[in-house]
Amino acid sequence: MLVKSEQDLLKLLDTLLREPQSFWDDFYQDKLKPIPFFINKPDENLVDYIETGKIQPKKVLELGCGAGRNAIYLAKQGFSVVGVDLSENALHWANERAEEAKLEIDFIHSDIFELDLQENNFDLIYDSGCFHHLAPHRRITYLELIHKFLKTDGYFALCSFEVGGAYGGSDISDEEVYKKRTLDGGLGYTEQQLKEVFQSLNEIEIRKMIPMSDQDNYFGLDGFIVGLFKK
């Protein structure tokens, strides 16, 4: 590739570090794999935001929606939902779940950085597990994406690997990422790092995710950090 623009440079770096679509299609191929978030339950922090009235049911964009567990919960609460994922297999599963629940959800097969959506159109952008799979150079375009599609006074919320978590959260520097050419399964973040990355938004809360049991109606694991911000 001949680099002639900033976009060319970003895409070149992507090829060195980002998992391709085939990786995520294979990941979602077997629905019976013992993957914690394959269960059809919403994140406990997302449920908390809704039930405490921090967020009102309106238009939501979910980045990296996977098999649709959070999108389905939001649709049941009255949200108009657009879910985006790179994996066709994940979205096929998500559509099956939505049809079973008799819900209308707009699932889009796309790279999140190539979305063709109306700007300033969403009241909530939610990310459960996409952000920590982004390389450091993509934090810049990720923030641009949030500001591009989120309405003024809209909310951004995420659930991400905490540094040293049981399920991921590598503690390597940005420099090491490029020297080693790996994210080591996903980057871990501290509360302070999330404050710094999302300083252009108003912080409402950053906390540890509350672990949930198999008997609980919501999803929660130790080793994850969640945050809620307002534009």
Residues 90-119 pLDDT 10s? 999 999 999 999 999 999 999 999 999 999
Residues 50-65 pLDDT 10s? 999 988 879 999 999 9
Is residue 226 helix, strand or coil?
Answer: strand
pLDDT of 17 > 90? The answer is no
Residues whose CB is less than 8 angstroms from the CB of residue 132 and which lie 6 or more positions away in sequence, other chains included: 160, 161, 168, 169, 186, 187, 188, 189
Say if residues 225 and 194 touch (Cβ distance below 8 Å): yes
Rounded Cα distance, 32 and 225, in Å: 26
Please indicate whether residue 130 or residue 19 has the higher confidence score (pLDDT): 130
pTM of the model: 0.95
Q: Does domain 38-230 have CATH number 3.10.129.10?
A: no
The pLDDT value given to residue 227? 98
Please indicate whether residue 204 or residue 16 has the higher confidence score (pLDDT): 204
